[in-house]
Structure 1
């Protein structure tokens, strides 16, 4: 868990994974952009809006918020991953197929893999759509079949090759 404070808001990122170094910078960037995009709403929140945060759930504002979150929080998407063991994990045949693609990618590079590369390879070599592929990759991450690599270890490995 990390927290960043802006001029008007506090933002906390809670995750079940080890926080990578760049996460602090990304959270700071998110906080600043959030305050810029929602400046008027934040100023009016405890006066005109009387503390009603539903303003952020209105369709046009929710779209802005989701866009900001997607742009800022692709931490797992841009971090390197390695394949973990499937022992004791109950995965669907589709999940196992994507896991095999991940193993192949990491073996070809003799290194780690990026989820964006896995998503691209999955979409080009299977008939899964982007949403299904993303959901299955997320499931693999949640089941520790794909494990995030600490940034210091991945840098060391990349420097050796």
Structure 2
């Protein structure tokens, strides 16, 4: 039976920028992203993140909100100024209120942002990365529901 789904060979590795000053967190995110087949660049500071954003194109940025040389919001401002068209996943130990404020700011400047708390749940990160890969190929995103990954289309047809 013919399929309209892209062949595995057609899948393009996403270009990710991992911005986190914690070496352990950078490593966890990098390993998970590379395991999913993505290309990863790391930036342990606001200054390096801005430099890398100015010199390369990224499909996604994972961003800690608290960095040694500044705030993740500074990186979001730079992304807005550069008309960044990719996705942002905030991965931060800040409380939900601060992550929500970052999401509101990002949306106000035209950036779609999702948020994951620290300590990082690798399963949640894998789902977020899978969603990015699927939507980049024009496929429906995976959502979690009751702790189980389900296809959004199946859920729509249950109604």
On whether the aligned pair clears a TM of 0.5, the verdict is no
Larger Rg: 1
Q: Point out the structure with the larger helix share.
A: 1
Higher strand proportion: 2
Band of TM-score, shorter chain:
under 0.3
